[in-house]
Amino acid sequence: MRLELGEIKITDLQFSNVSKIENGILYINEQEIRELVLQDEHIKDIKIEIAKPGESIRITPVKDVIEPRVKISNQGGIFPGVISKVDTVGEGRTHVLKGAAIVTCGRIVGFQEGIIDMTGPGADYTPFSKLNNLVLVIEPADGLNQYEYEAAARMAGLKVATHVGKLGQNVTPDELKIFETKPLFEQAQEFPHLPKVAYVYMLQTQGLLHDTYVYGVDAKKIVPTILYPTEIMDGAILSGNCVSACDKNTTYHHLNNPIITSLYDRHGKDINFMGVIITNENVYLADKERSSNWTAKLTKLLGVDGVIVSQEGFGNPDTDLIMNCKKIEAEGVKTVIVTDEYAGRDGASQSLADADKAADAVVTGGNANELIVLPPMEKTIGTLAFVDKIAGGFAGSLRPDGSIEAEIQVITGATNELGFNKLSTTSF
């Protein structure tokens, strides 16, 4: 599959009477967005805000972050199986509004939604502080349960991202990037002298607001399978979960997975990037055994020499991570795992809930229990009412002056296992 990503650089975001992109500025008609979102009877009201890099703004509780995109050529559309019909994506051309994002926010769904600070020390830990964010503060209809609320907020973000992405339909991109992965045997022969490397992409699928969607299907219902990397870059995987904010893979993370980008950067230089194996993170032991068995089998079937394995979440998924690692290593395939740590505020506790001697090559995203003080901001988008309750917060986290003392896990994307802030340069 060959995918062309046309990047339209967005340097500013403003409200306007007409939605358009002009000279790098994204103009948004607020009323259009409002009418679009309020078509859903599950949403009672919406407030639409703008947050730009460097502004004294705090956004919380953050649910998802989505990059606006539009499919220009080839079959399929953006977010297949959810917004567009179920066609295979990953080929042709897609335009990307690079530097812009849609952020969903509002009353808490689960206790693992996070904070984005647009300036200050918190901004250094999240990639989203560098973006021009259109923030949707969603008020659910009365009587809505938390699952209905999550689904409504998720769909609102995807619909708005699709609507905004279409503004790039006829805009000439500032940069065109090309990514290609060929059919298996052809790919293996292209660089026969280089080590063949695959990426094992663990998806959060534990249910109870811990879900991920592949072509619209809840990934807990799948068995491990192989995807072209370009399918993921073209919207095949969407977030639908409320795991701890620091290591949650938002939809933006899936679209811009830096491990995939890094492997493409090295493809043909020191590795032969063969593709992606997606697998799930399960609750029951038998399901964990099944998925890890299939994952190891697929690495052998692909004939790869090495893999990188990333997980989402912590605790229970650590078992899936270690099962995958030791079984893949047992197949003679060199394995590197990418994870964050929960080592206690002093860093002295066991970092992962599981371990094995086969896990001898590890890339860490940092200790999510580390304490941080976030200074007060001039403006809050959303509400501070849940700061003491979200994962990483505690009684007294929100101080009278508006500053916050909490574990770093409250920051959206802070120690993300995909390595947004500490990208792996692993060698096999």
Alpha carbon distance 170, 6 (integer Å): 11
Tokens of residue 65, six digits: 């972050």
Four-residue CA torsion sign, 299, 226, 362, 210 = negative
Give, in order, the Cα–Cα distances in Å from 235 to each of 90, 141, 164, 256, 342. 8, 29, 15, 10, 30
Alpha carbon distance 79, 234 (integer Å): 8
Determine whether 169 is exposed, middle or buried from the number of CB atoms within 10 Å of its CB (0-12, 13-18, 19+): exposed
Alpha carbon distance 328, 370 (integer Å): 32
Determine the Cα angle at 283 with ends 277 and 287, to 5°: 55
Which one of 105, 242, 246, 325 is the catalytic residue? 242
Considering only CA atoms, which of 181, 427, 182, 196 is closest in space to residue 302? 196
Which residues, other chains included, contact 385 with Cβ-Cβ below 8 Å and sequence gap of 6+?
none
SS3 67: coil
Considering only CA atoms, which of 147, 199, 200 is closest in space to residue 323? 200
SS3 226: strand
SS3 325: helix
Asked about 242 being catalytic, the answer comes back as yes
Q: So which residues are the catalytic ones?
A: 242
